Amino acid sequence: MALKAVNVSDVPIPNLDQLPENNPSLFSSRFNSDGMVLNVEAASFRAPKFLVIGHRGHGMNIMQSSDSRMEAIKENTIVSFNSAAKFPIDFIEFDVQVTKDDCPVIFHDDFIFSQEHGTVYEKRVTDLNLEEFLCFGPQKEAGKQGKRLLRKSKDGRILNWNVQTDDSFCTLAEAFQKVNPSLGFNIELKFDDNVVYHKDHLSRVLQVILQVVSQYAKDRPIIFSSFHPDAAQLVRKLQQTYPVFFLTNGGTQVYYDVRRNSLEEAIKVCLEGGLQGIVSEIKGVFRNPGAVPKIKEAKLSLLTYGKLNNVPEAVCMQHLMGIDGVIVDFVQEISRAVDEMIIKPLQESLKEGKEEERKAKSKVQFSQQELSFLLKLIPELIQH
């Protein structure tokens, strides 16, 4: 992997007059009256509650998984997003790329795989125009047959992308228009780890995405995030209306770009670029719990993703550690668990006037030894 460092200060700010003014509310009916607070001058972000975020909507797809929930609904589609919206979650997370003809579309993988005349072939998403992208998989037009859709697994196998409830690909604009407006969007700005992006290219792609957000966002809560440190810092420079989070594996994988290799480096990226928070692989946090108070001292928010977030006990532990929210695949199960294990007990505490007790419980700290034990225990609960 090779990433080219971009000096963000060298990139001119474009004229984005259509972008809304700094919105002091930034909250929907799913949040309480305190809303989602973004202090632009202090570059800080505060959520009013522990956030539950649907991964790629109702959950990601894993082909030939032993858990049927991973093949229930096509990920990153309108059906998946609105299915997730039926449950008491706050945001959905999805991946945005820009086609060759400058249309932001929602798709996770860098390449689309298909088969024609018995031959499997791949197409880079960003090398396709919109019409070519939309011709894969189910079609919106009645009677029209889309190209067969395959997917490459982590072990390199090419598999049929079969799900119980299918849906067609969609654009970012469609998501804004067709998804429940009370549901927040965590927009991941997707770039290929193996491509070196020039700063002019990053700027152009981000401006295209921001124009769509400007046109359709209205009062919908939005968080931007990216694994690409330069893209994350640049989108923060291009707009100050919405919070920007830096995505990291938290040291569970090693990259050429050292900024991606630890939570400590992620803190530096955020402070240097004026970002509002970090989204980390939860294993990286459990292996390095001492980073959590450092993140809080830096006035940054912390969200997590990963398989462990599908285990209710692991989610509850994160709340006690002071983590601000989780990105999950099992939307129904985890939203119910959060309600029963976190929200209802807090509400009862408030009713009984136990505000000080509630604050104390929310500040529970765990030792490295306790979290090491937890990390060994939790994987036993996960069905692979």
For β-strands 325-328 and 184-189, DSSP reports them as unpaired
pLDDT digits (tens, 9 = 90+) for 223-242: 999 999 999 999 999 999 99
**Which helix (H) or strand (E) is 188 found in, with range?**
strand 184-189
Structure tokens at 257: 């770009």
What is the reported pTM?
0.85
pLDDT of 16 > 60? The answer is no
pLDDT digits (tens, 9 = 90+) for 195-227: 999 999 999 999 999 999 999 999 999 999 999
Of 23-32, 97-106, 150-159, 232-241, the range with the lowest mean pLDDT is 23-32
pLDDT digits (tens, 9 = 90+) for 246-300: 999 999 999 999 999 999 999 999 999 999 999 999 999 999 999 999 999 999 9
Residue 211 burial (C-beta neighbours within 10 Å; 0-12, 13-18, 19+): middle
DSSP 285-334: HHH-TTHHHHHHHTT-EEEEESGGGGSHHHHHHHHHHT--EEEES-HHHH
Helices and strands, number each (H, E), in the chain: 13, 16
Residue 279 burial (C-beta neighbours within 10 Å; 0-12, 13-18, 19+): buried
In order of 27, 30, 55, 176, 264, the CA distances from 182 in angstroms are: 8, 6, 17, 11, 34
Residue 13 burial (C-beta neighbours within 10 Å; 0-12, 13-18, 19+): exposed
For β-strands 301-305 and 44-46, DSSP reports them as unpaired
Of 87 and 48, the one with more pLDDT: 87
Q: What is the pLDDT of residue 369?
A: 61
Residues 363-369 have a mean pLDDT of 53
Confidence of residue 15 (pLDDT cuts 50, 70, 90): very low
Residues 79-88 have a mean pLDDT of 97
